[in-house]
Structure 1
Amino acid sequence: MTLLVKEKMFYIHFFKLTLIIALQNVITIGVNLSDNIILGGYSETALSAAALANQIQFIALFLIIGCSQSVVILASRLWGSKQLHLIRKVIGVGMAASIVIGLITSITVILFSTELLSLLTADKSVIQEGAHYLKISSFSYVFFAITTILLASLRSMEIVKIGLLVSLFTLIINVSLNYLFVYGHFGLPRMGVFGSAIATLIARILECIIVIVYIVKNNHRLGLKMRHFFELDTTILKQYTKIALPILLSSLSWAGAMAVQSGILGHMGTSAIAANSVATTIFQFVTVIIYASASSTAIIMGKTIGEGSIEKVKAYSRTLQILYLFIGILTAIVLFVTKDHVLFLYQISDEAKALSLSFMTILSITAIGTAYEMPALSGIIQSGGDTKFVMYNDFIFMWLLILPASLLAAFVFNLSPVTLFILLKSDQILKCFVAFVKVNRYKWIKTMQVQR
């Protein structure tokens, strides 16, 4: 049995998809980074408020992204088997689910923003500022839902450049509007966190319009019309739900866990909140290639399974695992080297800076584990059709192991923020062992048929 695939086109295709998606992710993270930098220069309270508000809205965004992942899993298989008419039906179901989630979460956040933030911190000024941010930015969820499903549908057919261009446009608009609204340049009022939320909302609306125009004007490969995105086929809905429900529950579990983690750190002071925001934002920026590798894996594996090439799927999975480790080592080195050169961008306390450096050092180690387990689980296993395993795995590690241990460390043993951060991120290493065993047994390959 040959360990590595010898097809040159496999590597070209994988790295081409990965690099394009990574650039898109860099720009997307750049939107968050620009918010952090601009608000970090405004005040530490503003930075902490936006950081906690983002933890709340990550739940909505994770669920919407879960809907899009389900579209990619099904649609990429149909792309491989050339059943183009069914791709349109899958997209329609995914769009309906995503919009419903966007509406429900928007209403919930608008009505209970203060109560939700109170679960994460006791700092009244942070809660007040965060509530202002959430009540405006929550209107962007539906626009984000539409954009995400449209781009996922194109990505499943290996059309990825439009996502990069849209993200670049969003970054430019968001940074420009943040500059104007947060500090009140060119005669505009100085709005702080409130202005950052308005900038985000405007950017989301504009990017949605751009993608819709592109779909209507340029996509001739599938013959998509806007009405296809709002058609609800009940048979396809059942097949989509079978794939999507575990992904959505896993996304909800993960997003909720991230909010709880921020809440645990939030009760350790504003410096811990700010340091966590800085460290995780830089981490996301440096490790975009990891998440891109998972997305490109899902496209390649889904298409290959749709073509019926099961032996090729196994060979691809073996090769990909080695590529993941190389990617992990590279990103770990980059994060460790750059961590000392980014803090000048932030106007935060010396305590927050010291914590940020410690947090980024920890993340540079766990990045290697993330680079392997995340694409192995959400790229290989999920795209193979075994979405329940990923759901159970995430739930057990996070809610039965990591969070209970971290709560004890924070509120019973009163351990330091650095020790607590190590506990919170330890699952990124532990999951590697489970992922290795699961992937190399090949029981995750499900040759389901999308039928209508």
Structure 2
Amino acid sequence: MASITSPTQMSYGGHVRALSILGLPLIGGHLAQFAIGLTDTIMLGWYGVAELAAVTLAQSFFFVWFILGAGFAFAVMPMVASAAATGDHRRIRRATRMGLWLSLVYGMVAMPLMWWSEAILLAAGQQPQVAADAGSYLRIAGWGIFPALLVMVLKSYLAGLERTQAVLWITVIAAVVNGLVNYVLIFGHFGLPEMGLQGAALASLATQMVSVLAVIAYSLWRLPEHDLLRNLQRPDWEMMQEIFRHGLPIGLTTLCEVSLFTASAMMMGWLGTVPLAAHGIAVSVAGLTFMLHLGLSNAATIRVGNALGRRDRAHMVRGAVVVTVASLGVAVATALVFFLAPEPLILLFLDPDDPQKPEILAIGISLLAMAALFQLMDGMQAIALGLLRGLLDTGVPMVMAALSYWVIGVPTSYLLGFTLGLGGVGVWTGLILGLSTAGVLLLVRFWLHTLARVELEAVEAEVTTAAGVQGQATGS
């Protein structure tokens, strides 16, 4: 497949077209991936409020540990994109293989946390029945962390090569499988027993297995020149160290943001089952729109990484402007939907005959109004992180994220939600403040520091090259 990356002279219109070709399949892939968790939430919402609260808690717990390990996959993406720009197939293979290695090792560390999640959730102050239900879900679905992390690495490999349509269709197939298996196992259709929460867990695990088999088959079939399985059993310590050096800060950065939302879920759980269920619905809706920003962020990482491989700073700047404006447009559009039509969105998750529906609806509408407020800065921090990762600038953004989310966001949520008695609205105000702080800091980091560093390195490289040419001429 020919690269869609264009030379420095590409106009802004050209960048918009290139971003659409690369970014739309990535957005679709993220939406399909999100649909897997959303299907669990919607179907269990139909099944019962207690099950909805449990799966909200369980998925938040799973995602915290999954996203930390996914940092290695996110590190693979810009490294593959940069290597692809210079045609370095060996580096592409090395980065992908060691991403797979580190993901498997991390999965072994994380799986015991899934198995003993009930005790952890109880220690975190969750209600005993909700913790027990979430724990039973994770004892099954938790095994999916192994295939899920491998899928992330291979999707990052394909995305770095700009094969984003393959990523989209593999994820769509997985989402369809998940929906069908959920329908059969949760409610007990086609002669199978009604399994409820355990059925949803089995469906998620089956979906992850189908996904990993599909993405391995595609990679070996369509990209035989990379020979990904060659010497798979051999450690490549140098590349493993490089992936770890970039992947751990990326994982920790994403963990800081995700754990902000997990902490908010814990706090909402302290308020009761109904507020937690309303929170789960609002987070699911807001998360759905965030997939648009995340797809744009991944496209930014790929295009910046490719431009970095060619030392094309002007192309990088134009692309960054276009992706930032696109994210702004998405934020404004989705915020309007949240403000103007919250009720139909919330009712998608509820049984019409549920006696708790009016209370959940009232809380959910107020939370969606808050979600509309953080659309802008949530998108901006996602885009800024994507741009920075394309340049493999990972350490300082990790510190900025930790300060924004855990020094500002979480304490503010607790202060407003409980000390000042504002409840769920107070908890979500802390979310907004944390995301806004991160958005500002990360954008400043990219535009005022990292781009300047890239320009300086490019100048130094030109001077070194010129000096070498001059030395050869003098010697001759």
**Would the TM-score normalized by the shorter structure come out above 0.5?**
yes
Residue 241 of structure 1, CA deviation? 2.5
- 1:105 and 2:110 correspond: yes
Q: For the structure 1 residues 415 and 119, does the alpha-carbon distance in structure 2 shift closer, same or farther, using more than 3 Å as the test?
A: farther
Aligned equivalent of 2:187, options 155, 177, 183: 183
Q: Which residue of 2 aligns with 1:247?
A: 250
Q: Would you say the 8 A contact 1:373–1:432 is kept in 2?
A: yes
Q: For residues 240 and 225 of structure 1, what CA distance do their matches in structure 2 show?
A: 16
Which of 127, 131, 135 is 1:127 aligned to?
131
Equivalent residue for 2:470? none
Task: Determine if the alignment matches structure 1 residue 333 to structure 2 residue 333.
Answer: no
1:393-404 equivalences under 5 Å are 393-404=400-411
Q: Is the counterpart of residue 407 in structure 1 residue 414 in structure 2?
A: yes
- The residue that corresponds to 2:423 in the other structure is 416
Instruction: Quote the sequence identity (%).
Output: 20
Report 1:135-214 matches (<5 A): 135-214=139-218
Report what 1:353 is aligned to: 361
Aligned length: 443
Aligned to 2:226: 223
Alignment of 1:9-408 (within 5 A): 9-110=14-115, 112-220=116-224, 222-227=225-230, 230-345=233-348, 346-347=350-351, 349=356, 350-376=358-384, 378-408=385-415
Alpha-carbon separation, structure 2, partners of 1:396 and 1:196? 36
Q: Distance in 1 between the 2:36 and 2:71 partners?
A: 21
Which AA in structure 2 matches 1:259? T
Deviation string 1:81-118 (CA, Å, 9 cap, x unpaired) is 221211110111111111111221112211x2111221
Q: In the aligned structure 2, how far is the partner of 1:337 from the partner of 1:224?
A: 52
**CA contact 1:120–1:266 (8 Å) conserved in 2:** no
CA distance in 1, matches of 2:232, 2:60: 29
Q: Quote the Cα distance in structure 1 between the aligned partners of 2:407 and 2:188.
A: 47
Confirm or deny: 8 A CA contact 1:72 1:299 kept in the other structure.
yes
1:194-222 Cα offsets, whole Å, 9 max, x none, are: 110011111111111111111222224x4
Q: Which amino acid aligns with 1:279?
A: A
**Residues 140-173 of structure 1, C-alpha deviations (whole Å, 9 max, x = no match):** 1111111111111111010111211111111111
- Whole-Å separation in 1 of the counterparts to 2:417 and 2:400: 24
Change beyond 3 A, Cα 1:369–1:152: same
Judging changes above 3 Å, is the alpha-carbon distance between structure 1 residues 264 and 247 closer, same or farther for their aligned structure 2 residues? Answer: same
Structure 1 match to 2:471: none
2:434 is the counterpart of 1:427 = yes
Once the two structures are overlaid, the 10-residue window that deviates more, 62-71 or 425-434, is: 425-434
TM-superposed CA distance for 1:128, in Å, is 1.5
Moved more, 341-350 or 81-90: 341-350
Shift of 1:381: 1.6
Cα 1:321–1:255 shift into 2, 3 Å? closer
**2:427 counterpart letter in structure 1:** L
How far the C-alpha of 1:231 sits from its partner, in A, is 4.3
Q: Which amino acid aligns with 2:24?
A: L
CA contact (8 A) 1:120 1:264 kept: no
2:129 alignment partner, SS class? helix
User: How far does the alpha carbon of each residue in 1:341-369 deviate from its partner, in whole angstroms, 9 at most, with x for none?
Assistant: 12222136222211111111111121011
Cα distance per residue 1:164-196 (max 9 Å; x no partner): 111111111111111111111222111110110
The 3-state SS of whatever aligns with 2:305 is helix
Alignment check: 8 A CA contact 2:417 2:426 kept: no
Change in CA separation of 1:302 and 1:231 when aligned onto 2, cut-off 3 Å = farther
Aligned-residue CA RMSD (Å): 2.1
Indicate how the Cα distance of structure 1 residues 120 and 51 shifts in structure 2: closer, same or farther if over 3 A, else same.
farther
Whole-Å separation in 1 of the counterparts to 2:421 and 2:441: 31
Does the CA-based 8 Å contact 2:289-2:334 persist in structure 1? yes
Deviates more, 1:324-333 or 1:164-173: 324-333
Q: Call closer, same or farther: CA 1:230–1:165 in 2, change over 3 Å.
A: farther
Q: How far apart in 2 are the matches of 1:154 and 1:240? A: 17
Deviates more, 1:77-86 or 1:197-206: 77-86
Distance 1:76 1:261, change over 3 A: same
- The one-letter amino acid paired with 1:28 is Q
> CA-to-partner distance for each residue in 1:289-331, whole Å, 9 max, x for gaps?
1111000000000000001112322333234333332232123
Distance 1:230 1:322, change over 3 A: farther
Shift of 1:379: 1.0
2:468 match: none
TM-score w.r.t. the length of structure 2 is 0.88
Unaligned runs of 5+ in 2: 1-8, 462-476
Partner SS for 1:82: coil
Is the radius of gyration larger for structure 1 or structure 2?
2
TM-fit CA distance, 1:228: 5.5
Q: Which amino acid aligns with 2:282?
A: A
Shift of 1:287: 3.1
Tell me by how many angstroms 1:10 deviates.
2.0
Secondary structure at 2:194 match in 1 = coil
Seen in structure 2, the aligned counterparts of structure 1 residues 5 and 397 have a Cα distance that, compared at 3 Å, is farther
User: Residue type of the partner of 1:146?
Assistant: L
Runs of at least 5 residues in structure 1 that lack an aligned partner in the other structure? none
TM-score, normalised by the number of residues in structure 1: 0.92
Q: What's the counterpart of residue 472 of structure 2?
A: none
CA 1:241/1:260 → structure 2, altered by over 3 Å: closer, same or farther?
A: same
Structure 1: distance between partners of 2:232 and 2:369: 44
